[in-house]
Amino acid sequence: MRQSAPGFQRNGPLDSTGLPRYPSLRPPPPARISIPRAAVLSSCCFRLRYAPAAPSTMVGLSEGEKHFIRGGIAQDLRTDGRRRLQFRAISVETGVILQANGSARVRLGATEVIATVKAELGKPSILHPDKGKVSIFVDCSPTAAPMFEGRGSEEFSAELSVALQRCLLGGKSGAGAAIDLSSLIVIDGKVCWDLYIDGLVVSSDGNLLDALAAAIKVALSDTGIPKVNVSLSATTDEEPEVDVSDEEFLQFDTSSVPVIVTLMKVGKHYIVDAASEEESQMSSAVSVSVNRHGQICGLIKRGGAGLDPTVIFDMISVAKHVSQQFISVLDSEILAAEAAR
């Protein structure tokens, strides 16, 4: 013991890497290229503003694999055998969460999301006394990817929530919303329905935004809002008595709820419904939300690379075309899911 003690002191205690714990005794770190502070700062801002569609760090691809994916897209034959504008097989299930007023599970290949709609009685805002409130929250479960553990999913979840809110709920006034907000009113200025739409990403293999939007569309079509009987008291100051029915439910008109189609640009071409390996190769992406009548309800451009305006217009028209097929597939899946229940 005595002999080892001085040596121990000289070298310092070793940590698990077998290196001395004191920084001064460690071998010097590998030479680092110094980056001007301003450059570091701007690259940080860049990353925050244009967060990629899916965290690309989770796919580790070799140069050969990257080349293979890009080459396949250029030849209109993707790694899973699809064409550029072809979706993966979609499967839809409704009524999966019993506590919610409406719920749906949507699977797009290996991507799986659950959307639920919960209705609660609340008070309309003072600015819009004739309208109900709808809010969308998305959570990415760590079961989908280890990087969503702890607070790791917050930034990405918030990005998805905001994108969905923008595409489905329109502006702050409620104009252009997928759901007619005035249908949520029970008593003007006093009682309205608050719809809480929660999305949960259970398994992630790319194209989460489109899957979530589709799941929300299905969940809304599954939603039944209890019928409310109001007995207005004589004095208007009092809280109105509201009797919520257990048996009668009202359905929404969900025909105008849009779907989101994300076109990802890889090389010179763009693809729909990218898997996460393909997503990691994209240079930029345009998410277009289109309703049944072919009207564009929202648009988000993501990714760092710039796009030529004509390319964007081209992408929008392609998205419009693809979305109509997607809506009809989704509609038939909704009917099948309702029949299966």
Q: Which residues bind another protein (CB under 8 A)?
A: 16-17, 97-100, 103, 109-110, 112, 114, 116, 118, 120, 137, 139, 141-146, 149-151, 154, 196, 198, 200, 202-205
The helix or strand, by DSSP H or E, that contains position 51, with its residue range, turns out to be none
Identify which of residues 73 and 100 has a Cβ nearer to another protein in the complex.
Answer: 100
Q: Which is nearer to another protein, 142 or 189 (CB)?
A: 142
Minimum distance from residue 193 beta carbon to another protein (Å): 13
Judge whether 192 and 132 are in contact, CB under 8 Å: yes
Q: Which amino acid is at 109?
A: G
Least spacing, CB of residue 335 vs another protein, in Å: 24
CA distance 120 to 196: 8
Whole-angstrom Cα distance, residue 189 to residue 122?
10
Q: Minimum Å distance from CB 318 to another protein?
A: 28
Burial class (CB in 10 A: 0-12, 13-18, 19+), 228: middle
C-beta closer to another protein: residue 116 or 323: 116
Query: Considering only CA atoms, which of 300, 210, 303 is closest in space to residue 258?
Result: 210
C-alpha span between 30 and 92 (Å, rounded): 52
Q: Between 60 and 171, whose beta carbon lies closer to another protein?
A: 60
Q: Which is nearer to another protein, 129 or 152 (CB)?
A: 152
How far apart are CB 145 and another protein at their closest, in Å? 7
Rounded to a whole number of angstroms, the minimum distance from the CB of residue 99 to another protein is 6
**Percent composition of the chain: helix, strand, coil (DSSP 3-state, to 5):** 35, 30, 40
Question: Which one, 199 or 298, has the nearer CB to another protein?
Answer: 199
- For the bound state, the minimum distance from the C-beta of residue 89 to another protein, rounded and expressed in Å, comes to 13
- If we measure between CA atoms, which residue out of 169, 189, 192, 193 comes closest to residue 118? 193
Taking residue 4's Cβ as centre, other Cβ atoms within 10 Å add up to 8
